[in-house]
Amino acid sequence: MEIQVWQIIALTILSMILIWDSLSTAIFDGKPMFAGILAGIIMGDITTGLAVGATLQLMVLGVGTYGGSSMPDYLTGAIVGTVFAVTSGQGVEFGIGLAVPVGLLMVNLDVLARFCNVFFAKRVEAAIDRLDYPGIKRNIWFGMIPWGLSRALPVFIMLIFGEDIVNAIVNHMPEWLTGGLSVAGGLLPAVGIAILLRYLPVKKYISFLLLGFFLAAYLSVPMVGVAIFGVAMAVIEFKKSVNGNQVVAAANAGGLQEGLLDGEYED
């Protein structure tokens, strides 16, 4: 399928809107899940967009860009991956195989955008010295430009020139690479999960990690079912920690009484 001019323009604008949204209103929160779906809608193939977005989403679970660290940009990766999965007709795995290197390359542009904004921040400070309010406002909003361009330019360039390159890759890609990439597609979510486990106090709640695994692996409980179980446990934990002291005291008293009862039975 050939990509249309209006689709290139729409996808370029989409990449800008999604990065701006992730910085402010965050309803799509910069997540590849939504980027894949929206790119799929523009390309007229929601199923492929949904699948590309979902798989990339699993890879980045728990990866946030807080504290200013740059993460691989699978938001842009999902857009480009979805487009090429549709235009090449090679399917979802192929799209993901492209989205990953694109996401990794895009880190550099994210860093560049954050550097460019140092320049505008300096101009804001200069405007403060002059007490020039229009200047302050103008330079604050100029900050949107590096952010927007850092996504829109590469997407535009890849969509304009990418097709020949993509076709060349498709025709010459050996089996060990395509097969290897689909194995990687299955394994990569492990990275997202492991990053997440590094963030969370796993040692404190290790029993719940095991319970979640047990429910899914042995009992084949679907994810929503596991979440319901988790909510039930979370409510108990919440109540326990809100009146932590009373509960601890009560538990100690209970334990003492139980101990006495045990003793009686043994006699």
CB of 76 to another protein, least distance (A): 15
Q: Which one, 8 or 136, has the nearer CB to another protein?
A: 136
CB contact at 8 A, 80 and 212 = no
Q: Which one, 244 or 255, has the nearer CB to another protein?
A: 244
CB of 110 to another protein, least distance (A): 11
28 CB contacts (<8 Å, ≥6 apart)?
A: 18, 21, 22, 34, 35, 38
Q: DSSP 3-state assignment of 143?
A: coil
* Closest to 29 (Cα-Cα) out of 61, 69, 5: 61
CB of 5 to another protein, least distance (A): 28
Q: Which one, 244 or 254, has the nearer CB to another protein?
A: 244
Residue 178 CB neighbours (<10 A): 14
Token couple for 63:
């990866």
CB of 66 to another protein, least distance (A): 5
Q: Which one, 246 or 257, has the nearer CB to another protein?
A: 246
258-to-88, 240, 253 alpha-carbon distances in Å: 69, 20, 9
CB of 132 to another protein, least distance (A): 11
How many Å apart are CA 15 and CA 114, to the nearest integer?
A: 17
Token couple for 257:
């009484």
209 CB contacts (<8 Å, ≥6 apart)?
A: 197, 202
Sign of CA dihedral 100, 103, 105, 107: negative
CB of 157 to another protein, least distance (A): 22
CB of 166 to another protein, least distance (A): 19
Answer left, alpha or beta for residue 29, where phi above 0 means left and psi between -120 and 50 means alpha. left
Q: Which one, 8 or 181, has the nearer CB to another protein?
A: 181
Q: Which one, 167 or 240, has the nearer CB to another protein?
A: 240
Q: Which one, 1 or 200, has the nearer CB to another protein?
A: 200
